[in-house]
Amino acid sequence: MKNLKLTTIKVKNQARTLVKVKDITIGEGFTVIAGPCSIESEEQAIETAIRVKEAGADILRGGAFKPRTSPYAFQGLGIKGLQILEKAGKESGLPVVTEVLDPRDVSWVCEYVDILQVGTRNMQNFSLLKEVGKAGKPVLLKRGMFSTLSEWLSCAEYVLAEGNPNVILCERGIRTFESYTRNTLDLAIVPSIKEVSHLPVIVDPSHGTGRLSLVERMCLASIAAGADGVMVEVHRNPAEALCDGDQSLSPPMFMSMMKKVRKLQECMVEINALDRESSK
């Protein structure tokens, strides 16, 4: 019998969901996920992993199956990419997250990673959602680029309905008429989620803006908006990246951003205390 009590919608005084991954708790403090858009080689992944860890990242990201607009673009290294990601995670000491595209791959991809990512294009792939729900690993569910908050939560509900409470929502920008940015990063969704759901929510300013120059500011803005973390693309040499080089930070840029992230996080402790006082 499925656990029918699990639901994404919060009830009064309900505690927020905390998602534990090794030593990291998503939903407590501010979790930073960083790494390349895709795993390209062992050297690239391990060097990037070690450098983001040195800068203070909590979790390593890296795609092995890439959902590309063109079938002729680099599709990711597949199983080889997962083996490299696992090794980069071990060498850096960081838990790892990767996107899974196909329900048939879920059970074996789980053997390599700590968190399964469902991408924007698959947010409403219900067979994939059911499969990741059964897998027993935390799920990072990106917002569909054309989806409302309520559609997004309904998709999270599919995972919960399989008995898996460990869902992390990720705002990654939506399609609007604006074309200066790759997507329109909807930061108002962060406090909106907090109003209606107990699930943790993080922000991806890399895909959300598609512009290197905007990533740091949007990371900082995510902290102020009350997000539980961010996911940022970092490449050891963005000019040579096989995917999303234009929005990838270099390791020194990431290091400099992280100093500001941790500083702002400290300020947020005081802001949150003032919030609690004023809501009494």
Residues that bind ligand PEP (CB under 6 A): 37, 63, 67, 99, 119-120, 142, 172, 204, 207
| Residue in 19, 34, 37, 199 binding Mn ion, rule: CB under 5 A | 37
Distance CA 231, CA 34 (A): 6
Nearer to ligand PEP, 86 or 233 (CB): 233
Main-chain dihedrals φ then ψ at residue 118, nearest 5 degrees? -110, 120
- Quick one: 175 or 262, whose CB is closer to ligand PEP? 175
What part of residues 194-253 is at the interface with Mn ion (CB under 5 A)? 244
List the single partner that 85 binds among Mn ion, ligand PEP, none, CB under 5 to 8 Å by kind.
Answer: none
| CB-nearer residue toward ligand PEP: 63 or 229 | 63
**Crossing angle, helix 251-278 and helix 42-55, to 10 degrees?**
40
Tell me how far the alpha carbon of residue 179 is from its chain's centroid. 23
- Which residues, in sequence order, are bridge partners of residue 26? 19
Q: Which among 9-17, 36-44, 87-95, 98-106 is the span making contact with Mn ion, rule CB under 5 A?
A: 36-44
The CB-of-62 to ligand PEP minimum distance in angstroms stands at: 9
Torsion sign, CA atoms 181, 187, 165, 89: positive
**Which among ligand PEP, Mn ion, none contacts residue 191 (Cβ within 5 to 8 A by kind)?**
none
Phi-psi category of residue 277: left, alpha or beta, with phi > 0 → left and psi -120 to 50 → alpha: alpha
Distance in Å, CB of 210 to ligand PEP, minimum: 10
How many residues touch Mn ion under the rule CB under 5 A: the total is 2
Q: Which does 198 bind (CB under 5 to 8 A by kind): ligand PEP, Mn ion, none?
A: none
In angstroms, the CA 137 to CA 126 distance is 17
Cα–Cα distance for residue pair 279/216, rounded to 1 Å: 30
Q: Between 16 and 98, name the residue whose CB sits nearer to ligand PEP.
A: 98
Q: How far apart are CA 259 and CA 54, in angstroms?
A: 12
Give the residues lining the site for Mn ion (CB under 5 A): 37, 244
